[in-house]
Structure 1
């Protein structure tokens, strides 16, 4: 396809997009991908300095764990700049990697950011989209929301996002709103740095679990989000799309170790 035909296919030129977690690894790829598709992109993050070098139409700063502040920031944004055509709920956080590392405080914070925070961003946007009778929402969930790969609080929150997607699709579809989720597998972003600092050889253990033999890139996640958010996916709603290098398709390590004897 030529650049013009891609633009026509996606239909995103001059569409307005709000992306949370814009300053993170996947967030930056999302900003770049939507801008490349011709969209007008605004970003939100916990700290303004993480977005300082991004080419954004508008910047919002709030902590997702502070529900009142989050809701007010979104409402003020809508009042001042209008209802976005597309909302990408990307912001996320995890540190409690196993049940043994979990306590009440960690559970509360991870659910507050990954699930409750996404709700408090989305609810005022959905209200405004409903009045306009159009809108598209994409949540960056995780393969952890489909099966258990550790990080139990994060996983519970990401599974909750998938259920929320289905609720939005079913109950708000009549207002012209679509909602979908993307479920990435391991993505090599700065979020992995703390793991690799503790265990430099970790990637050699991780990659054999993936049929493609590698992690997905932030750009691959972003391209999937651009498609699902765009009019090119106008008949798709209520789905959870795995972008995971094949991880959830089956257990490659089991086949190699047990059946093939490699």
Structure 2
């Protein structure tokens, strides 16, 4: 007889959006290790190759009808998720000036905020119809908490926090929990368009002395999705290596280099 995983997720069904990315793949692996069945969703189904998934879905989260069809498909298969991880997101507008490109603001909000709503709304409706609850975790960013660039992305990620709190408050009595992780810089392919030296330079701003690994964030998401976090809802958990705790380069420059 197998021993249930201590996180209490054995046999639970988890839907992860953006599952084919570097962070998404780590999230899938973490839930599988916790005994869960995982459905992965991405815009391009080829991005899901090699993942240990029970179901694979390809849809554009900015397309509300496509999202509803995907959730309906899972319901027909008897695979309505117990846990929804809204992980999909992207940004290319680094500054206010870059937002002057036609449609850039709308595109970033559609991908990083409205898309999460398009997936979440039909899932919560299925839960309500079945008279059950579930758990939702959103991948936001430290950009939502203070400014590190990418202004439209930051606005969208801040919107996720407000949306999660609305879900926690209004649907809590129906057994729904909604929480947010706010990662700092994570070493994934999302940084591939930048000079590799940028991440190394960024590490000096993190008190733990390194950029985050995808597993750092994934493990926190699994915890928030698990019964171990049954009393946590509407919360925002920075997974940021201490970045939000204070400015270590400032401390070194002002107080002394021996710190």
Q: CA deviation at 1:260?
A: 2.3
Question: How many equivalent pairs are there?
Answer: 255
1:73 to 63, 70, 86: 70
Contact 1:130 1:172 in 2 (8 A): no
5 Å-filtered alignment, 1:187-202, equals 187-196=186-195, 200-202=196-198
Mind listing any 5+ residue stretches in structure 1 that lack a counterpart? none
C-alpha distance in structure 2 between counterparts of 1:22 and 1:250, whole Å: 32
Q: Does 1:226 find its partner at 2:222? A: yes
Secondary structure, counterpart of 1:183 in structure 2: strand
1:211 to 203, 207, 212: 207
241-250 or 74-83: bigger deviation:
74-83
C-alpha distance in structure 2 between counterparts of 1:84 and 1:181, whole Å: 18
Contact 1:43 1:56 in 2 (8 A): yes
Determine the structure 2 residue equivalent to 1:117. 115
Q: Does 1:139 find its partner at 2:138? A: yes
202-211 or 46-55: bigger deviation:
202-211
After superposition, the C-alpha distances for 1:218-252 in whole angstroms (9 at most, x for unaligned) are 01111000000011110000001000111011111
1:16 to 13, 28, 32: 13
After superposition, the C-alpha distances for 1:126-145 in whole angstroms (9 at most, x for unaligned) are 11223332200000111111
Contact 2:217 2:239 in 1 (8 A): yes
Q: Does 1:41 find its partner at 2:3? A: no
Secondary structure, counterpart of 1:170 in structure 2: helix
C-alpha distance in structure 2 between counterparts of 1:86 and 1:65, whole Å: 21
Q: CA deviation at 1:105?
A: 1.1
Contact 1:130 1:177 in 2 (8 A): no
Secondary structure, counterpart of 1:44 in structure 2: strand
1:94 to 91, 94, 114: 91
C-alpha distance in structure 1 between counterparts of 2:252 and 2:75, whole Å: 52
200-209 or 103-112: bigger deviation:
200-209
C-alpha distance in structure 1 between counterparts of 2:236 and 2:72, whole Å: 27
Q: Does 1:178 find its partner at 2:174? A: no
After superposition, the C-alpha distances for 1:193-218 in whole angstroms (9 at most, x for unaligned) are 1012xxx4223321111101111110
C-alpha distance in structure 1 between counterparts of 2:80 and 2:245, whole Å: 37
Determine the structure 2 residue equivalent to 1:157. 156
The structure 1 segments of at least 4 consecutive aligned residues displaced by more than 3 Å after TM superposition are none
Q: Does 1:238 find its partner at 2:234? A: yes
The TM-score, its normalising length taken from structure 1, stands at 0.93
71-80 or 121-130: bigger deviation:
71-80
